[in-house]
Amino acid sequence: MNVILGVDIGGSTTKIVAFEEQERVLDCLQVRAGDQITSLYGAIGHILYKCNLTLDQVTAFVLTGVGATMVKGDIYGIPTYRVKEFEAIGKGALELTGFSETLVVSVGTGSAFVMASEKECRHIGGSGVGGGTLTGLASKLLGETHIDAIVAAAQKGSLRQVDLAICDISDEEIPSLPPHVTAANFGKVESTASKEDFALGLINMVFETVGSLAAFACKNTEIKEIVVTGSVAALPMAQKYLDGVGMLHGVKFIIPEKAIFATAIGAALLYFSEFQDEAGSITALEIT
């Protein structure tokens, strides 16, 4: 069996997906290492071991993500391709949802917004608010840097202890602003607010920010279903807090099952559609 390895080398973690040549996903995994080269080679070794494969069964590597620029030439002498991250984000999201057109929000270390259709994937912008914001602020506010510890704390937290809601500042019903809606994230930090309340407030702030930006980007378009990918999309409270934003704006947020691996999957699929016929040659580095 021959395999293609799609690798998304992000600012925080490396995601790898093994595809059988016939475009079937064999397995995916995520690794985190101190530097991107170590995490790339660690991910390759780990997935080969996990799938019981040897290196000579790998016919191509397809790299994407910010860290792909660090890797020069071929990996282990095997043809190594680079694809634009924004195209991989769009392609992966369309594949995982079956949509033909959507807005994709990749929430990783930061957040990227890509208008994706079968014809083209267009980067419409980004936000510095993402998972890096969450872990960075949590390190100071909670003394926690590990995502699992931050999530575990948040599950016991209450937003009423930290956020200012519309009902805190207005007695009157405002038609477009239900009373429970956030007026200011961390706008009402109680003296009794705990580490757990801060953890939930931070997670909610990230989802409310990226969710609102995505909803605004879809105003005056036909898009009513927005796809959210990246590791942050896989946090257990993602759907709940994005649904809150979606209700306000009349859009729905869809988190596909393999949201963490969407970009790596998209990279490998771009290989099948763009490079397969010319396998053996290397394209110019095309990371943007």
- Interface residues with Mg ion (CB under 5 A) are 10, 108
d(Cα 14, Cα 65) in Å, to the nearest integer? 9
Tell me the β-bridge partners of 60: 4
Indicate which single residue of 131, 211, 244, 266 sits in contact with ligand ATP (rule: CB under 6 A).
Answer: 131
CB of 257 to Mg ion, least distance (A): 17
Site string for ligand ATP, 79-118 (x = CB under 6 A): ---------------------------x-xxx--------
Indicate which single residue of 230, 244, 246, 256 sits in contact with ligand ATP (rule: CB under 6 A).
Answer: 230
Nearest residue to ligand ATP, by Cβ distance, number only: 10
Give burial (CB, 10 Å; 0-12/13-18/19+) of 121. buried
Say how many Å lie between the first and final Cα of the chain, rounded: 33
Q: Among candidates 58, 110, 49, 52, which has minimal Cα distance to 85?
A: 110
Neighbouring C-beta atoms of residue 15, cutoff 10 Å: 28
* Pairing between β-strand 14-20 and β-strand 3-9 as defined by DSSP bridges: antiparallel
Kindly give the residue spans of alpha helices, DSSP state H, lying in 85-164.
85-97, 131-141, 147-154
Nearer to Mg ion, 131 or 201 (CB): 131
CB of 63 to ligand ATP, least distance (A): 13
Site string for ligand ATP, 15-44 (x = CB under 6 A): ---------------x-x------------
Nearer to ligand ATP, 80 or 106 (CB): 106
Nearer to ligand ATP, 66 or 78 (CB): 66
Q: What is the 3-state secondary structure (H, E, C) of 60-93?
A: EEEEECHHHHHCCCCECCECEEECCHHHHHHHHH
Cα–Cα separations (whole angstroms), residue 76 to 8, 29, 41, 216, 223: 18, 20, 10, 45, 43
d(Cα 107, Cα 230) in Å, to the nearest integer? 5
Indicate which single residue of 64, 80, 102, 135 sits in contact with ligand ATP (rule: CB under 6 A).
Answer: 135
CB of 11 to Mg ion, least distance (A): 7
Nearer to ligand ATP, 94 or 138 (CB): 138
Nearer to ligand ATP, 53 or 107 (CB): 107
147 binds ligand ATP (CB under 6 A): yes
Q: Is the C-alpha dihedral spanning 54, 55, 60, 66 positive or negative?
A: positive
CB of 223 to ligand ATP, least distance (A): 22
Cβ contacts of 242 within 8 Å, gap of 6 or more: 207, 211, 228, 253, 255
Nearer to ligand ATP, 102 or 109 (CB): 109
CB of 60 to Mg ion, least distance (A): 21
Indicate which single residue of 3, 6, 7, 10 sits in contact with ligand ATP (rule: CB under 6 A).
Answer: 10
Where along the sequence are the contacts to ligand ATP (CB under 6 A)?
Answer: 10-13, 30, 32, 65-66, 106, 108-110, 130-132, 134-135, 147, 230-232
